[in-house]
Amino acid sequence: MEEFDVVIGLEIHAELKTKTKVFCSCKNEFGAKPNENTCPVCTGMPGALPIINKRAVELCIKAGLCFGCTISHYAVMERKNYFYPDLAKAYQISQMVYPICVGGEITLKDGKVKRLNRIHLEEDAGKLTHISRATGTLIDYNRGGTPLIEIVTEPDFTSPEEVDEFLKRVRESLVYADIADCKMEEGGMRCDVNLSLKPKGSTILGTRTEMKNLNSFKSVTRAIEYEIKRQKEILLDGGKIIQETRKWDDAKGKNMSMRSKEDSQDYRYFPDPDILPISITDDDIESIKSEMPVLPQKRREIYVEKYGLPEYDAQILTSSKYISDYFETCLKIYDSPKKISNWIMGDLLKLVKGREEFTFPIEEKYLCEIIKMVEERLINKNVGLQLMNDVIETGKSPAVLAKENNLIVVISEEEILKILNAFKEENSKVVQDYKVQPEKVIGFIVGHVMKSTGGKANPAIVKELIKKIF
């Protein structure tokens, strides 16, 4: 079935992490009682006047900076007119002609560039809950007026795998930069998929369908696979694709026609006369740039190229900003990237396995102290792990606990000296060599001491003593 090219474009909505809604001062929070966070503005009362939330504009600019968009100096909020019960004023305040961010791109792992068309700011609608035919439908306007960004891509995608990677990259960046939580299960990030097929190699796009509000990575993939198959079958059968919005039913694993798809002109967009155009200065942009963290993609590059970590480690360490920040704090205390990575990936992550949100139960400085003890062979790895658990349990420092529990069993300097002196007498050749090129033989001598003490000497001390007496 290689007769068709698949063409996919995405519209991704993410709820912004602001304290209040985008055009009123109602709280922007998930999980409140129905209609608790509402006022005349966000329930669309006639005559109520919106005031734009500056932070929402800033977060939209920040999102643009994540993906290399051009930030507009002049942006306009427009009314998108349509009626739906979850949108009481019969228009959504959105952006059309002058969005805040234009262009931008994300490069996938295989080097393919996926272009953004724009990122704009808009408000979310309320939430309808259909109970039953008898009881009817309940409306909760808490979500109405929640600030959203909509990321619109160019039709650059050809497979569900590309879409999946792209969405994960978008989410990762938005979460890192503290723009949005992107909790898909709470509707914090949703994806609309526009999909069409065209004869292989053709430059003319086919008729597209739109699937709205897909709210998990898995359902996006399944919905795309299903829709490709559905359109293929119709086209191979000589039929025509109808431009429409189709609703994906995740439980049934199929989609069905919802309504014929409108084009943008059907919404009769026009500038909202209640909201002044937004003016964005270079200083505004610079100040938002200064609060940008290093994004995960860049961190992975640094971890691999500068710290010499395997790609696999870099991937896991950057899987959340928290882990990545933790790792980097450790690195400032104890500069041994691979050792720290091993402890975090192998031992710390095991402790929080299965939890979606977590903090590691041990402070960075204490973890580093333990790693250092193990590296200096003051304790072995198993004792180190035990010590970590004890630190977590008691909150005491590793040094204190090691002393209290007599964990550090090391050979005294005196005994090391005895071994070194004996070695010196029996190995005059090595002593000669040491005088000429100490760095060439010091390792050999340390090795001898470690061997004859069963690994219980502290190599740093051994080195110091060698330097003193040889």
Tell me how far, at minimum, the Cβ of 203 lies from Zn ion, in Å.
47
Tell me how far, at minimum, the Cβ of 173 lies from Zn ion, in Å.
29
Tell me whether residue 145 or residue 296 sits nearer to Zn ion (CB atom): 145
Tell me how far, at minimum, the Cβ of 145 lies from Zn ion, in Å.
5
Rule CB under 5 A: say whether 125 interacts with Zn ion: no
* Structure tokens, 339: 């050792």
Rule CB under 5 A: say whether 241 interacts with Zn ion: no
Which residue in 22, 24, 371, 420 binds Zn ion (CB under 5 A)?
A: 24
Sequence-distant (≥ 6) Cβ neighbours of residue 380 within 8 angstroms: 374
Cα separations (Å) of 430 from 371, 417, 439?
33, 17, 12
In 7-137, alpha helices (H):
54-66
Residue 448 CA neighbour count, 13 Å, CB half: 19
Q: Which stretch binds Zn ion (CB under 5 A): 33-41, 63-71, 170-178, 191-199?
A: 33-41
Report the C-alpha gap between 449 and 441 in whole angstroms: 13
Rule CB under 5 A: say whether 32 interacts with Zn ion: no
Tell me how far, at minimum, the Cβ of 18 lies from Zn ion, in Å.
13
Tell me how far, at minimum, the Cβ of 247 lies from Zn ion, in Å.
29
Tell me whether residue 24 or residue 116 sits nearer to Zn ion (CB atom): 24
Which residue in 14, 42, 170, 195 binds Zn ion (CB under 5 A)?
A: 42
Rule CB under 5 A: say whether 88 interacts with Zn ion: no
Query: Strand ranges (DSSP E) for 218-307?
Result: 244-249, 254-260, 270-271, 278-279
Tell me how far, at minimum, the Cβ of 47 lies from Zn ion, in Å.
14
Tell me whether residue 41 or residue 379 sits nearer to Zn ion (CB atom): 41
Rule CB under 5 A: say whether 39 interacts with Zn ion: yes
Cα separations (Å) of 434 from 14, 416, 452, 457?
66, 18, 20, 21
Indicate the burial class of 256 (C-beta count within 10 angstroms; 0-12, 13-18, 19 or more): exposed
Question: Helix or strand or coil: residue 400?
Answer: helix
Rule CB under 5 A: say whether 26 interacts with Zn ion: yes
Tell me whether residue 50 or residue 398 sits nearer to Zn ion (CB atom): 50
Tell me whether residue 145 or residue 188 sits nearer to Zn ion (CB atom): 145
C-beta separation of 164 from 136 below 8 A: no
- Please calculate the CA angle 181-186-191 and round it to the nearest 5 degrees: 80
* Structure tokens, 282: 């270079």
Rule CB under 5 A: say whether 371 interacts with Zn ion: no
Footprint on this chain of Zn ion (rule: CB under 5 A): 24, 26, 39, 41-42
